[in-house]
Structure 1
Amino acid sequence: MIEDSASRVSETGLERARWHKSTYSGSNNGCVEHAVLPSGRHAVRDTKDRALGAHTFAPAQWQAFVIAVRDGSL
């Protein structure tokens, strides 16, 4: 199981997710992938070590993160 503070997501659910590599990922192996899960939660994982699992976030948490990245406050 992969766990965060709000819920548990099964490995199977993550395997079925449609993962997308970040356009901000560089060529130095610093890559991350993002997926929107059927539950509406967002998942993020390390491209080069997928076996570590993923972190999941509620939609409001994800939106706050994206806004902070875009406005430079993070």
Structure 2
Amino acid sequence: MLLTGCVRTQTEYEAVKIPSLPLPENLLADCRIPDIPDEMAYADSVVLNLLMQGALEDCTNQIRAIKKIEANS
């Protein structure tokens, strides 16, 4: 009869590298920044604000897409 109650086992864990998925090029592209003219009228500033808002939304969508890909991998 063997007594195993005093036997001590040690578990060792090994880190496993998971290959990362390459991100699509369109998500890695620089965010576009609208040109800001030196002089502009009030109406031009309204148009510039709309362009800047669109650029910000595009960048936000790129970041969300990257986060989604990273969360799924």
| Fold shared, TM-score > 0.5 on shorter chain | no
TM (norm. structure 2) is 0.22
**Structure with greater Cα Rg:** 2
TM-score (norm. length: structure 1): 0.22
Q: Decide which structure has greater strand share.
A: 1
Higher relative contact order (CA 8 A, sep 6+): 2
Higher helix share: 2
